[in-house]
Structure 1
Amino acid sequence: MLIDSLMLAAVVRELNSDLKSSVVRSAKVVAPFSVALALQVRSRGRIWLTASAHSRYAHIGWHQKSLTVGEVEHPETERFAEVLERHLEQARFI
């Protein structure tokens, strides 16, 4: 439990330093159980924040380069990405 708290604190610190005041532009499905948020950052251009809810390979990360999004046939993830985009588009990290 302590390790989880330390990891979450490290992730929050990293996100605050790199993504503060960025704006969500879109949400895309990149793989089953994985979505990416396109964030517009003033100083660095566009960054892709990826999150996976896979039961074995869950991860959070970000990429400077544009992600290639293939045709993914996973209805639950597609619906989740649509909901994310509807609620988070133009949201700002503060």
Structure 2
Amino acid sequence: MLHASLPGEATAWLTVAQSGAVIRYVEEGEREPFGVWLGCGVTPRAHQTCTLVTHLLGLRIRKLERQTTTEPVGLGFGSGLGFGAGAPFP
């Protein structure tokens, strides 16, 4: 498992398991499913890459969630290259 912390924080805010499952830690350390990557367990470098990309996208999602909006925010991933998002990236 690889973890990522928010800037200035000592604890992880998300974890990417070698299976590709992503867990986000919310208030009081509660675990929340945050998606799944495919192919993260192929090599250690792939696992690190999945963690880095999750951290970067997660920061953006977190920012969008904190804005005052009524529309849900999330990411959707499928097979193949690229990704889709539930909210536009300005």
| Range class of TM-score, shorter chain | 0.3 to 0.5
Higher relative contact order (CA closer than 8 Å, sequence separation 6+): 1
Q: Name the structure with the higher helix share.
A: 1
Q: Name the structure with the higher strand share.
A: 1
- Report the TM-score, using the length of structure 1 for normalisation: 0.32
- Report the TM-score, using the length of structure 2 for normalisation: 0.33
